[in-house]
Structure 1
């Protein structure tokens, strides 16, 4: 391509970049794209791994597009080697973008039309696994929700500008668009539904239910005088006596101008909740009916076209946001499982009991970069490692996997003290361009000596100090000033520290999520750890996590590695 190139060019978009990062992290392909196609070409607001100049231009002509076939067919396109596919073998994406293996799933707009794709590309032939394709499909659905939410926001902003008489309605649309755009988790979405319903529709009370298996479960509601508490229990979807069931099983919104109108349609509701108007709106997304939102007004009122339009928009925004939050929550759960799966089985070493535990953060939407490891070395010593890569997202988890594997290889290959190995890790980390930053402790535990003890030699790259519980019940931090964090400078000073451990002693390595708490000095957390290791079951990492970072308090991932000398 020359500088005379006049094809389409795009710009990076932070949200679509995030979807591209998730696809790359889960599938492990060199290139991942969020692309949109029109009659002229395609643009990539989300892109990782493209060669230049395409990465900078973020666009190509259709001569370089596989995405166009995903859009035209409105179906996934999955090929192991594009050179073997008749309609792809002459596509210029093969020589110019190194697109050999391709897996792309369609993105849909508000009208259900395919407008682009989320895809992964490999420069080598590749058979895509069912698990990889399932992840890409789920991410494409979540990305489609983002496309649709943006379209709804654009529609609201256009309505605001269109005419003076619709100004208030447009402001409400914009309010809802922005409110739901900021809602990330399922709890955020449920809270936003209740808040926006009161603001936009003027209802006195709001309740939200979700479909769970074959029941409708009320997850947000307010107890009301005269309404039995049992009314908020799970309602089987087969129980057609209730307007809420009718709304979610296909009859559409249930809107009544007063209590008498509702009782006439559903006699089971007579005398419940007063005489005010009521609306029950199904929350319908591409994946199905997710639940319902109930709005109750204090007095009877007419349901004019403007209010019905507001209610319709509220249900649409809420359903799209809830669908996106549920999909991303499922992906986060998968991410935590994958992160834990990267932590290999611990070795069996005579005279040592090595145990470990990893607990993800109990709140928030991100995964982290915490890890642990242990290796039985050829010289009879045992290498022990723990670390925390900077960041709390899939990128951090991916960097963690690479840095951990690099340290394993260096530890096995070079029979050197821990400080020297960490220096090599810095050189390799920066030299290959990984540039992962974070903290770590690397320790070597020698075989049993003549006096029955084992020398522990350790080095810390900015990591909290190890703790030792002695056989007599005394516990203390190991003394040794931590050196510079990993990933900042090659050749940084890495000092080794030594201590002798004896049978019955317990070594505890951990990440900062075990001891750090908001608005508290780290020294207080370390003191609490030293005191706690003397009271819980020795050598039980889960006991430490439950005592110091239970799920109710845990705001960060936690990894703990313990070694008990026999």
Structure 2
């Protein structure tokens, strides 16, 4: 009997150890999952759902405090039915009263077996599920209370125990680090995007042409990009337009973009040189005095020719411009693309030319507008042509906005668009 009793005790201990190991592994997996998120709303929602999984809770929420620390500014919840969510949406955010307010005022771990029996309880608003148990833990970021994590109703019907409390406290510590990292990343990203935009020019007065441009950072968080555009009015109603993309997403790409654009501006003022010759000179200059990454670009000169306009261009490995005529016909100006800058300065750079009728629109863009891993490039180009034709009557600022909003790419890369329209008849 003693042996059986001892074996039973050992068996119970082993089961507890296995359960603890499983819980610890679950906590480690949860920390990894939270740390992978790079958007604050996703991080907060992940914290709630992860805590629910760790302790087997039916409901979970995270209340983010205002700067004063006296009220809830955000409330992220999980586990509610759609009907419950709709009913509570009419009431608005919890005001931080009752048990929630108690945890705000006293940010110590709170474990309650019967919410209604707690001295701070004030009941539930209409439409709110009637909860019995609660586990609340404060999340502190850099020594300040960021918010409170609330869990309610274990699936097995039991109240939360000390093991649940300990694992949620550990998760809250990891959540605080993840929140702080995302906030720091967001500040860096916003600063990087602002810096990127400062490197891009404001379009000058290009009369008799009209023009508009837009830059969009990648949908996925990334560092600086190398996309750029430029337009330079020259004498005799001639305008030069360029779009380009430096390989890479970092400070080096942004610096290379700035130096390439400035060198090209200097070369463009010699109006006797065709676009292909300008790109050749630019390529040699970049090779001689920089270590810039590979760059794709399209350079064009538009000049009057009778009632029409002569469009001369040369491409260095870049996607072709898109031409839309006044009758909404869209076609890509496909021609020998040439090599990107920084590959081989000895290779010739072909020039191309065609007439543009009055009221025509030429769209220059970077590949971030069309690249999609699930679609062939021809399919994406066709989709872009359809979008452009559909919105061709819009004023150019709204037109480039429409292209950026409805682009056929997956948004993994930043994009730049510049559209220029010839005078109407």
TM-score of the superposed pair, with normalisation by structure 1: 0.62
Residue 308 of structure 2 corresponds to 453
**Structure 1 548/235 Cα, relative in aligned 2: closer, same or farther at 3 Å?**
closer
CA distance in 1: counterparts of 2:415 and 2:99, whole angstroms: 46
Confirm or deny: 8 A CA contact 1:243 1:280 kept in the other structure: no
Does 2:284 align with 1:427? yes
CA distance in 2: counterparts of 1:353 and 1:227, whole angstroms: 53
What root-mean-square deviation, in Å, do the aligned CA atoms of Structure 1 and Structure 2 show? 3.3
Residue 113 of structure 1 corresponds to none
Residue 200 of structure 1 corresponds to 54
Offset of residue 442 of structure 1: 0.7
CA distance in 2: counterparts of 1:474 and 1:463, whole angstroms: 22
Offset of residue 338 of structure 1: 2.4
**Structure 1 294/487 Cα, relative in aligned 2: closer, same or farther at 3 Å?**
farther
Q: Secondary structure at the match of 1:267?
A: coil
Residue 527 of structure 1 corresponds to 382
Q: Secondary structure at the match of 2:307?
A: coil
CA distance in 2: counterparts of 1:291 and 1:234, whole angstroms: 18
Does 2:182 align with 1:331? no
Higher RCO, 1 vs 2 (CA within 8 Å, ≥6 residues apart): 2
Does 2:115 align with 1:281? no
Does 2:215 align with 1:361? no
What is the CA deviation profile of residues 491-522 of structure 1, one whole-angstrom value per residue up to 9, with x for unaligned ones? Answer: 33311111122322222211223333341111
Does 2:317 align with 1:462? yes
CA distance in 1: counterparts of 2:407 and 2:141, whole angstroms: 32
Offset of residue 565 of structure 1: 1.5
Residue 105 of structure 1 corresponds to none
Residue 376 of structure 1 corresponds to 233
Q: Secondary structure at the match of 2:347?
A: coil
Confirm or deny: 8 A CA contact 2:294 2:343 kept in the other structure: yes
Offset of residue 526 of structure 1: 1.8
What is the CA deviation profile of residues 345-401 of structure 1, one whole-angstrom value per residue up to 9, with x for unaligned ones? Answer: 222233211221222334444443221101123575321001122234454334322
What is the CA deviation profile of residues 421-460 of structure 1, one whole-angstrom value per residue up to 9, with x for unaligned ones? Answer: 22222223333343222321111122x23x2333221111
Residue 39 of structure 2 corresponds to 185
Offset of residue 466 of structure 1: 1.0
Residue 338 of structure 2 corresponds to 483
User: How many equivalent pairs are there?
Assistant: 398
Residue 301 of structure 1 corresponds to 159
Q: Secondary structure at the match of 2:57?
A: coil
Q: 1:561 aligns with which of 413, 418, 421?
A: 418
**Structure 1 164/356 Cα, relative in aligned 2: closer, same or farther at 3 Å?**
closer
Confirm or deny: 8 A CA contact 1:279 1:294 kept in the other structure: yes
**Structure 1 285/441 Cα, relative in aligned 2: closer, same or farther at 3 Å?**
same
Residue 153 of structure 1 corresponds to none
* More moved, 431-440 vs 257-266: 257-266
Confirm or deny: 8 A CA contact 2:31 2:171 kept in the other structure: no
Offset of residue 470 of structure 1: 2.6
Note the 1:437-452 alignment, pairs <5 A.
437-446=294-303, 448-449=304-305, 451-452=306-307
Residue 63 of structure 1 corresponds to none
What is the CA deviation profile of residues 147-187 of structure 1, one whole-angstrom value per residue up to 9, with x for unaligned ones? Answer: xxxxxxxxxxxxxxxx9997566545533442333222224
- In the alignment, structure 2 segments of 5+ residues that lack a partner are 1-16
Q: Secondary structure at the match of 1:218?
A: strand
Q: Secondary structure at the match of 2:340?
A: coil
CA distance in 1: counterparts of 2:110 and 2:348, whole angstroms: 71
Does 2:377 align with 1:498? no
Note the 1:85-104 alignment, pairs <5 A.
none
Confirm or deny: 8 A CA contact 1:353 1:565 kept in the other structure: yes
Confirm or deny: 8 A CA contact 2:200 2:228 kept in the other structure: yes
Does 2:123 align with 1:241? no
Note the 1:148-227 alignment, pairs <5 A.
170-211=24-65, 215-224=72-81
Does 2:138 align with 1:290? no
**Structure 1 189/225 Cα, relative in aligned 2: closer, same or farther at 3 Å?**
closer
TM-score of the superposed pair, with normalisation by structure 2: 0.81
- In the alignment, structure 1 segments of 5+ residues that lack a partner are 1-162
Offset of residue 557 of structure 1: 2.4
> Rg: which structure is higher?
2
**Structure 1 216/244 Cα, relative in aligned 2: closer, same or farther at 3 Å?**
farther
Residue 403 of structure 1 corresponds to 260
